[in-house]
Amino acid sequence: MHTVLIDDDSTSIFLMRLLLQREEFADSITAFQSAQEALGYLQQAPPAHLPKVILLDLNMPVMNGWEFLEALQPAAPQVLSHTRIYILTSSLAQTDMTRAEQNPLVTRLIHKPLDKLELQLIRAEAEQEGGVGAM
């Protein structure tokens, strides 16, 4: 299962990649420390190369996770037919939880750190046919 990590913190990417590999979660992992780079990648990727899962950090400089989701909106039908987007954040703000629940692009908000149980839930959801729209 192809997975994309979007987080400006290289340590977080390293630890998430390690967990994903240890749990044999992903066949391939593509990591971006910039939401703009990830956005460009997703907008240019042919459907067969779209990830099954995106783990998106909220608090990033220049373009945060919410801005990334807004910019992804025009490509949403194509992306979401293949991909589930999970917000991965250390934020405990209720406004972030509410906003994630109301955003049709977001499958679920997960509090950091990511753990084995959450990965199992993500895998089960991602293995369902299609992306968010299939729920």
Convert the pLDDT of each residue in 44-71 to its tens digit: 888 888 999 999 999 999 999 999 999 9
Which residues on adjacent β-strands are paired with residue 5? Answer: 31, 55
Q: Label residue 20 exposed, middle or buried (CB < 10 Å: 0-12, 13-18, 19+).
A: buried
Higher-scoring residue by pLDDT: 61, 127: 61
Query: Taking 90 as the threshold, does the pLDDT of residue 39 lie above it?
Result: yes
pLDDT in the model for residue 68: 97
Convert the pLDDT of each residue in 68-121 to its tens digit: 999 999 888 888 888 999 999 888 888 889 999 999 999 999 998 889 999 999
Cα distance between residue 43 and residue 49, in whole Å: 11
Query: Please, are residues 37 and 61 in contact by the beta-carbon 8 Å criterion?
Result: no
Higher-scoring residue by pLDDT: 131, 135: 131
pTM surpassing 0.85?
yes
Mean per-residue pLDDT for 27-39?
96
pLDDT in the model for residue 3: 96
- Ordered by where they begin, the domains of the chain are 2-134 (3.40.50.2300)
